[in-house]
Amino acid sequence: MDDFTSAFHSQVAVVTGATRGIGEAIAHRLAAMKMTVVLLARDRDRLEVVREAIASKGGSADVFPCDLHNEEAIDGLGKHIRLNYARCDVLVNCAGIGELGKPLHEMEVEDWDALMATNLRAPFLMIRALAPMMIQQESGHIINISSLAGKNPLPNGAAYSASKWGLNGLTYSVAEELRKFNIRVSVVAPGSVNTGFGGRGDSGSFKDEAWKVQPDDVAGVVEMLVRQAPQCFISEVLVRPTRKL
């Protein structure tokens, strides 16, 4: 264990959307840094698979099945973290859904509501539940996984784009609110990631899409952010594939 990794040995990280894709890759990265990682998603069975995979590599993980649309469930998470760990050092808001492929005027209201509840309301609820512990300990790092769609127009994906523009604005503003407590808040905005996003599979491991940004590439950025020297923070990282098709 190197000196940098040993510094994280007693720290606790919470990762939403931890059962697949980018969230799963981030969970593995933080566990490899010797953090205890609390894994959040709705599917308990899949959470257990990820926990066991982390444990098989010598890491430590806890599972917390949670519906991110449920305010009471997220409040319960905050109580669980406080009771069992008494600290939260890293929060990664990674869970996200998309409604792509048709213009906004054809979108159902319930689909809009579900998308905004997952992509924007849930990060708010997670920050509300866990930031007080970070304030109390006067340290912490919140990392929101956004998208390049939050920087650029996305025809036939306007709601998704709007949710990510909103998440970016939330991130920048909360960063200013929490800086005085020595808490860093960053946004990572990848584009063209090789995952199952958009309904193309469970794990999203597509050999013909190897040109894309890989989930572990994004996890590497999260590790870099967490390892920053304490006197500074990177507020935003844009991650693009080298090739442009």
Q: Is residue 68 domain-resident?
A: yes
Q: Is residue 94 domain-resident?
A: yes
Q: Is residue 75 domain-resident?
A: yes
Q: Which amino acid, residue 56?
A: S
**160 counts as catalytic:** yes
Q: Which amino acid, residue 17?
A: G
Query: Model pTM?
Result: 0.91
- pLDDT at position 204 is 41
Q: Report how far apart, in Å, the C-alpha atoms of 138 and of each of 79, 171, 179, 204 are.
A: 19, 18, 10, 38
Q: Is residue 245 domain-resident?
A: no
- pLDDT at position 99 is 83
Q: Is residue 87 domain-resident?
A: yes
Place of tokens 């050092």: 89
- What value does the CA radius of gyration of the chain take, rounded to a whole number of Å? 17
**Can you give the CATH number for the domain in which 125 is found?**
3.40.50.720
- pLDDT at position 83 is 97
- pLDDT at position 209 is 78
Instruction: Spot the catalytic one: 8, 64, 160, 165.
Output: 160
Long-range contacts, 223-229 (Cβ 8 Å, 24+): 223/29, 223/30, 223/33, 225/141, 225/143, 225/184, 225/186, 225/188, 226/8, 226/30, 226/33, 226/90, 226/141, 226/143, 227/4, 228/184
What three-state secondary structure class fits 190? strand
Domain that holds residue 102: 3-239
Burial state string for 89-117 with b = 16 or more CB within 10 A and e = fewer than 16: bbbbbbbbbbbbeeeeeeeeeeebeebbb
What three-state secondary structure class fits 19? coil
The counts of H helices and E strands in the chain are 8, 7
- Residue ranges for the chain with pLDDT beneath 70: 1-6, 196-208, 245
Q: Is residue 244 domain-resident?
A: no
- pLDDT at position 245 is 67
Number of structural domains (the chain) is: 1
Please state, as a whole number, how many other Cβ atoms lie within 10 Å of the Cβ of residue 72: 8
CB 98 within 8 A of CB 153: no
